[in-house]
Structures are given as C-alpha cells and as structure tokens.
C-alpha cells in the first residue's frame, strides 16, 4: 500500500460523480499552471480514462471512453451495438475499452501527476483487460481518482472499497459543491 490516496467517488446514477471528478481535474490543472515547479518534468498533469455520455436528439444513447491525454475516443456502450452482452439496454463493446481505455490507463501510470479512471462500473468491467490494468495501476503509488458504480458487486469494485489506502466519498446533493475541494485537499496532503 502506498502513501498516495486512492480516492473513489461514488453515488447514485446522475448524482454528479463525473461532474465532481471534472471539477477536481480542472482545479489540479489550474494549480499546476500556477505552480509549474511542483510537478515532475516532461509528464502530463492528469492522465487515464474518462467516460462520457453520447447524446443524440437530447437522449442518452450510449457511452464513450476517452483517453484524457490524447483525446482518443471509443464507443464502449450504445443502444445500436449488436451484442449478446447487453446492460441497461446498451450493447457493450469491450474491444473499444481495450483499444482506448486500457492503454490510456497504462500510459498514465508513472507518467502523470494524477491517474483518473472514470468509471469503474457496469460497462468497463466487461473488459478483462480493463480490470487487469486497473488492478495493476492501483499497486502503483500515485494519487488516483476513480468514479465507482455504487451498487456493483464486481470483485474489482469490492477490492477498491476494501483498500487501506482508499477513501470512498459519496456524492450527495448536499456535498456535491464542496466535495471537489475536499478531494483536492486529500491529493495535496499526499507527499
């Protein structure tokens, strides 16, 4: 177990997990620009994988995984994907997680100030490569931010919740505005 925190952001669907994560990331980047000497040279500030809803005609039709550093996108879940593996009405394409998300996480480990994995949940854990790379990344001692599906019983999520160096924070309507500042303090307090 390392000295840098592994912070899991959880909450009910649409509670604002990704919004809290995005706010923390933008604050970390702003702080880095204000104090560039504090970071390691030649590395990005934040790396890893983000998840974004795909909206068509005002309706959520799927989810994309995005490499934070390169901007590369892959459609990992969509209503139109024809797959035996369907979750919540979406067809799942684990090969897109393997193509975009897995290398995004691998490349960020040790090369960025903070690792982001958004979201460890129903869709992403369908990729064995994703599960393996997240497990490996958690063994590396660096500040790590993860959004966690609240109700999933997947072994990876259970392992993350049990970690000694982990802090699981739930997003609620009451704490949503202040939670990014609390998370930023936890990151800043780590050496």
Residue 55: inside a domain, yes or no?
Answer: no
Is the residue at 113 inside a domain? yes
Q: Is residue 75 part of a domain?
A: no
Integer Cα distance of 84 and 24 in angstroms: 36
For the chain, the domain total comes to 1
Q: Is 24 contained in some domain? A: yes
Q: Is residue 123 within 8 Å of 157, Cβ to Cβ? A: no
User: Is the residue at 122 inside a domain?
Assistant: yes
Q: Is the bond preceding 119 in cis, omega lying within 30 degrees of 0? A: yes
- The CATH number of whichever domain residue 108 belongs to comes to 3.40.50.300
Q: What is the pLDDT tens value at each position of the chain, 191 positions in all?
A: 568 999 999 998 889 998 999 999 999 989 888 886 654 444 689 999 999 999 999 999 999 999 999 999 999 999 999 998 898 899 999 999 999 999 999 999 999 999 999 989 989 999 999 999 999 999 999 999 999 998 888 999 999 999 988 999 999 999 999 999 999 999 988 76
Q: How far apart are CA 143 and CA 165, in angstroms?
A: 10
Within-domain flag for 163: yes
Task: Please check whether residue 86 lies inside any domain of the structure.
Answer: no
Q: How far is CA 131 from the centre of its chain?
A: 13
Residue 164 lies in a domain: yes
Q: Which two tokens stand for residue 165?
A: 């160096």
DSSP string, 3-69: SS-EEEEEESTTSSHHHHHHHHHHHHHHHHHH-GGGSPTTSEEEEEEEEEEEEETTEEEEEEEEETT
Find all residues with CB under 8 Å of 153, minimum gap 6, and list them.
Answer: none
Residue 182 belongs to domain spanning: 6-50+65-70+96-189
Quick one: pLDDT at residue 114?
Answer: 94
């Amino acid at each position: 177990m390392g000295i840098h925190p592994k912070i899991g952001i959880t909450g009910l669907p649409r509670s604002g997990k990704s919004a809290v994560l995005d706010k923390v990331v933008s604050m970390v980047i702003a702080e880095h620009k204000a104090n560039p000497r504090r970071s390691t040279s030649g590395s990005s500030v934040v790396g890893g994988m983000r998840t974004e809803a795909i909206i068509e005609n005002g309706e959520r039709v799927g989810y994309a995984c995005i490499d934070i550093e390169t901007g590369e996108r892959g459609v990992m879940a969509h209503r139109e994907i024809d797959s035996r593996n369907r979750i919540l009405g979406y067809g799942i394409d684990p090969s897109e997680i393997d193509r975009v998300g897995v290398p995004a996480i691998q490349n960020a480990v040790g090369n960025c100030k903070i690792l982001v994995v958004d979201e460890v949940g129903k869709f992403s854990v369908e990729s064995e490569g994703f599960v393996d790379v997240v497990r490996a990344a958690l063994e590396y001692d660096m500040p790590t931010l993860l959004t966690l599906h609240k109700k999933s019983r997947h072994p990876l999520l259970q392992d993350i919740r049990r970690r000694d160096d982990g802090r699981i924070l739930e997003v609620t309507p009451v704490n949503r505005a202040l939670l990014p500042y609390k998370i930023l303090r936890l990151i800043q307090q780590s050496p």
